[in-house]
Amino acid sequence: MASRKSRPERRQEPLSRERIVAAAVELLDTVGEGGLTFRALAERLATGPGAIYWHVTGKNELLVAAIDAVIAPTLAGDDTGTTPQEAIRSLALGVFDAIDAHPWVGTTLAQLPRTPGKSPMLRVFERIGRQVQALRVPEAAQFTAASALLSYILGVAGQNAANTRAAQTNTDRAAFLDAVATAWRELDPDQYRFTRDVAGQLREHDDRAEFVAGIDLILAGITAGLADGRTRP
């Protein structure tokens, strides 16, 4: 009787927290936050939900870890040799681009429960705060300055990602902006004079450039307040 050659067993990468988080990011990018379930994740990883729970206790922890994985590259840069303004601008753009590439980050941040000391954006806040201190903002105003910058970054980046996703679903960006700008121009001139005046700028604006301009306005306000002693809570 001829002996049967045994097939070598297929080597499978062991399940780890890193693999689980990477698969979760891929799933979120594909189907959004509503489609992330442990069953769907288990199918993607070719394992059982129980094996995932060994590494992650629940969906909220998984979402926090997924956001951390997406934002981490923006924190990897070295601020040595840059001004505080340049460091904040670079960090802000990194977060903006990360949320633009992963639109679910913006909506997920708003939905996560407020857990003291465990916000996925705490490291971003820390990085901004150190640059605020480097600007020599008075101690009593540092929290306000750092919070204003973080709120602007997350708010604008999240809204831009939501708008981009809506535009991709309905039509191309240029046609979408053109339609909105046209609607603005047709508003009542007495009630919406300013909105009508800037309709053309809406049609032609670049989201990323406008985002940076907003960061520069906030930084200019902080700097001006330092110059004349007005920077205070």
Collapsing DSSP to helix, strand or coil, 101 comes out as: helix
Residue spans of alpha helices (H) in 32-121: 38-45, 49-53, 59-71, 84-101, 104-111
In the numeric block, the tokens 């047709």 are attached to: 186
Question: 88 vs 19, 82, 156, CA distance in Å?
Answer: 31, 10, 15
Question: 193 vs 180, 182, 202, CA distance in Å?
Answer: 16, 14, 15
Predicted pLDDT at 227:
60
Predicted pLDDT at 174:
79
DSSP 83: -
Predicted pLDDT at 167:
61
Predicted pLDDT at 107:
84
DSSP secondary structure string for all residues of 205-225: --HHHHHHHHHHHHHHHHHHH
CA within 13 Å, CB half, 158 = 15
The pLDDT averaged over each successive group of 10 residues in the chain (233 residues) is 44 81 95 89 91 90 93 86 94 94 88 71 93 94 95 92 68 80 94 94 88 95 74 52
